[in-house]
Amino acid sequence: MSQNSIEVHNLSVAYNRIPVLWDIDFELPKGQIIGIVGPNGSGKSTLLKAIMGLIPLSSGFAKIFDKELDLVRERVAYVPQRESVDWDFPATVEDVVRMGRYKKGKLFNRLSSIDKHLASEAIEKVKLTPYKDRQISQLSGGQQQRVFLARALTQGADMYVMDEPFVGVDVATEKTILELLISMKNEGKTVVIVHHDLQTVSDSFDYLVLLNTRLIAHGPTKEILTEENLQATYGGQLNLLSKIRNIIKNKDFPMREKGFEDK
């Protein structure tokens, strides 16, 4: 049995014939917290969408748990960027989280008591129980992100794929999410996250993919976060590079850099 969670081979994506991802090829392990890291516009979010079958590929293919996505879709929970959702939709926290229990093709079935219990449990895990009856439009950005995460948790997936879950969240939410990610990993889950904060990845992530249109490197975090790899990944970001160089000499990594979100 394969020990890979995701395999990507010769994958390319182009918008209006301009390559966004070019000939990407890697395999990712199971049961780890994996970060996809790179500068703004490097194709991080595009890579996630390509793996999840949300955009067409120019070439290549991706597999999850050694199978085509459609064969394992119920084993994968996807958390998109918060900005991609209409938060004015009239729904409560509990409504949105319960949506995670509806299966494909069974949207009009009634939820069981077990489904409702799992939704309540997920809301408790992200510390939103006091807000369960609140309209999602009335939540802060960090609270909205936790709603997304709770909905994903109700799916009972083996893999969680998240696109920038830390953008625009407060320190308390970041801490809550990180604690949940570690708990999920300890339960044998695989977590794949588009991220840009080198401090967080060096402290909490097991495995990294460094990306800048093409694959720069992938592997265990301690092996991958080298000055050479960071220069290749962030070559045009001179201010960030100067900080990276200085702090690498002190065997540490920089705090969160603003403005490097992948759009």
| Reported pTM | 0.84
Residues 6 and 62 sit within 8 Å (Cβ to Cβ): yes
Residue 122 tokens read as 């997920």
Residue extents of the structural domains in the chain: 4-249
Q: What is the CATH number that goes with domain 4-249?
A: 3.40.50.300
Number of Cβ atoms within 10 Å of the Cβ of 61: 14
| pLDDT tens-digit series, residues 16-58 | 888 899 999 999 999 999 999 998 889 999 999 999 999 999 9
Check residue 139 and report its DSSP letter.
S
| pLDDT tens-digit series, residues 175-214 | 888 999 999 999 999 999 998 778 788 888 999 999 999 9
The half-sphere exposure of 247 on its side-chain side, counting CA atoms within 13 A, is 15
pLDDT, residue 210, reads: 96
Mind giving me the DSSP string for 103-138? PTT-TTSPPPHHHHHHHHHHHHHTT-GGGTTSBGGG
C-alpha to C-alpha distance for 231 and 182, rounded to whole angstroms: 29
Residues 191 and 185 sit within 8 Å (Cβ to Cβ): yes
The half-sphere exposure of 195 on its side-chain side, counting CA atoms within 13 A, is 26
Distant-in-sequence, close-in-space partners of 243: CB < 8 Å, separation ≥ 6: 254, 257
